[in-house]
Amino acid sequence: MWDKIKQFVLSKFFVKQIGLVILFYLTAIFVTLVYLDVSTNHGEKIPVPTLINLHVDEAKAKLEELGLNYQILDSIYKPELPVGTVLEQVVEPTVSSGVFVKTGRCIGLRLSKKTELVPMPSLINKQVQFAQDILLRRGLESNIQYRPTTEANGSVLDQLYNLIQIKEGTMVPIGTKITLIVGQNDQGEEIPVPNLVGLYLGDALTVLDDLGIENVVINCVNCANNQDSTSTPVTRQTPEFYEGGTIFKATQITITIEVVDPNNDVIRPEDN
pLDDT for 266: 42
Return averaged pLDDT per consecutive 10 residues of the chain, 272 residues in all.
64 74 82 63 79 95 93 89 93 90 91 90 92 93 84 85 92 92 77 92 91 86 76 89 84 84 46 38
Q: Is 96 exposed, middle or buried (0-12, 13-18, 19+ CB in 10 A)?
A: exposed
Please tell me the distance from the alpha carbon of residue 53 to that of residue 27, in angstroms, as a whole number: 51
pLDDT for 271: 41
Cβ count near 171 (within 10 Å): 9
pLDDT for 4: 65
Q: How does pLDDT run across 21-62, given as a tens digit for each residue? A: 888 888 888 777 666 555 555 557 899 999 999 999 999 999
CATH class as words, domain 46-113 = alpha beta
Distances (CA, A) of 216 to 143, 144, 193: 11, 10, 13
Q: How does pLDDT run across 64-75, given as a tens digit for each residue? A: 999 999 999 988
**Which residues neighbour 53 within 8 Å (Cβ) at sequence distance 6 or greater?**
85, 86
pLDDT for 268: 41
Instruction: Identify the CA nearest to 251 among candidates 176, 190, 174, 197.
Output: 190
- Architecture field, domain 118-184: 2-Layer Sandwich (3.30)
User: What is the enclosing helix (H) or strand (E) of 234?
Assistant: strand 234-238
Beta carbons of 235 and 266 less than 8 angstroms apart: yes
Q: What is the CATH number of domain 190-271?
A: 3.30.10.20
